[in-house]
């Protein structure tokens, strides 16, 4: 049985850039929620953001890149069992199944409408896919059910205390927990982000999706965790947690970090 440690409540006050964040970095963060996380926002708006993420992942090949990063971590396991949290559109899981002939994937999200959309698509009838609603902070699975748990472009949705709990949960149900998430940008990069987002979205998205996508994109950038913060969150979940920063996934798309959390055997 995995031992669950009490998480120091002080972690709730950790800046997104970590305890060592600069004065300016501490000001460039927000508690404002993305539309994806708000109960008062219609699912129509949320699905515009999810569709944009899917399109962006296809165009930049990030679904493929992230799937390869995930599969590299289970290359020594013949029939890996993988849980994807916060799957949104499910394309990362679809790529994993396409690239690996025997992997099984549980594709999940906390949003039941996204889960229903995934279940209504090709993954719904895939013999190696299971689709279900899962909250990353309270995973309804036995210890060690999975060889790998993956959370892509979503970890920044969780505030520090909850994020630390999610690391504890994912490393309870899985041997390894791969977080691929937005890199925390420098102040200058952040200042340029809205302009970049508007131009990219104007080219690839219908005009009606522009505001939700730019809104959620900019808030995501302000909420992204630094490597120092991710390491602290892992150690708050378990002082012996191993935190490995992988080489930056190559390719196009928003810059990301890939970090693997695992407990000592």
Can you give the binding site for ligand SAM, defined by CB under 6 A? 36, 50, 53, 57, 85-88, 92, 109-111, 114, 135-137, 152-154, 157
Q: What are phi and psi of 146, to 5 degrees?
A: -120, 155
- Looking at the chain, how many residues does it have? 265
Q: How far apart are CA 224 and CA 158, in angstroms?
A: 10
User: Which residue lies nearer to ligand SAM by CB, 110 or 230?
Assistant: 110
User: Which residue lies nearer to ligand SAM by CB, 153 or 229?
Assistant: 153
Least spacing, CB of residue 175 vs ligand SAM, in Å: 20
Least spacing, CB of residue 143 vs ligand SAM, in Å: 19
User: Which residue lies nearer to ligand SAM by CB, 109 or 147?
Assistant: 109
Least spacing, CB of residue 78 vs ligand SAM, in Å: 26
DSSP string, the chain: -PPPPPPPGGGGG--TT-TT--HHHHHS---PPPGGG-TTS-HHHHHHHHHHHHHHHHHHTHHHHHHHHHHHHTTT-SS-EEEEES-TT-HHHHHHHHH-SS-EEEEEES-HHHHHHHHTSGGGG-TTEEEEE-BTTB--S-TT-EEEEEEES-GGGS-HHHHHHHHHHHHHHEEEEEEEEEPPPPHHHHHHHHHHHHHHHHHHS-GGGHHHHHHHHHHHHHHPPPHHHHHHHHHHH-TT-EEEEPPPPPSSSS-EEEEEEE---
Least spacing, CB of residue 32 vs ligand SAM, in Å: 15
In terms of Cα–Cα distance, which of 54, 108, 70 is closest to 86?
108
In terms of Cα–Cα distance, which of 77, 112, 114, 113 is closest to 93?
114
Least spacing, CB of residue 123 vs ligand SAM, in Å: 13
User: Which residue lies nearer to ligand SAM by CB, 85 or 97?
Assistant: 85
User: Which residue lies nearer to ligand SAM by CB, 112 or 265?
Assistant: 112
User: Which residue lies nearer to ligand SAM by CB, 111 or 171?
Assistant: 111
Least spacing, CB of residue 26 vs ligand SAM, in Å: 23
Least spacing, CB of residue 225 vs ligand SAM, in Å: 14
């Amino acid at each position: 049985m995995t031992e669950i440690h009490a998480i120091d409540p002080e972690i709730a006050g950790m800046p997104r850039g970590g305890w060592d964040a600069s004065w300016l970095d501490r000001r460039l963060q927000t508690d404002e929620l993305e539309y994806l996380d708000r109960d008062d926002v219609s699912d129509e708006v949320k699905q515009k953001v999810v569709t944009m993420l899917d399109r962006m992942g296809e165009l930049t090949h990030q679904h493929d890149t992230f799937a390869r990063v995930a599969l590299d971590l289970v290359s020594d396991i013949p029939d890996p069992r993988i849980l994807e949290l916060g799957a949104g559109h499910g394309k990362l899981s679809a790529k994993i199944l396409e690239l690996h002939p025997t992997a099984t994937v549980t594709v999940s999200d906390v949003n039941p409408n996204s889960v229903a959309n995934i279940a209504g698509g090709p993954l719904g009838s895939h013999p190696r896919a299971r689709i279900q609603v899962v909250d990353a902070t309270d995973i309804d699975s036995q210890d060690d059910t999975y060889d790998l748990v993956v959370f892509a472009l979503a970890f920044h949705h969780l505030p520090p205390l909850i994020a630390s709990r999610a690391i504890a949960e994912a490393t309870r149900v899985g041997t390894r927990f791969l977080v691929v998430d937005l890199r925390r940008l420098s102040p200058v990069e952040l200042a340029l982000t809205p302009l970049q987002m508007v131009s990219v979205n104007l080219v690839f998205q219908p005009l009606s999706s522009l505001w939700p996508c730019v809104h959620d994109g900019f808030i995501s950038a302000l909420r992204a965790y630094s490597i120092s913060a991710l390491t602290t969150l892992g150690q708050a979940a378990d002082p012996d947690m191993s935190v490995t920063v992988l080489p930056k996934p190559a390719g196009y798309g928003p810059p990301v970090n890939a970090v693997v959390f695992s407990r000592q055997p």
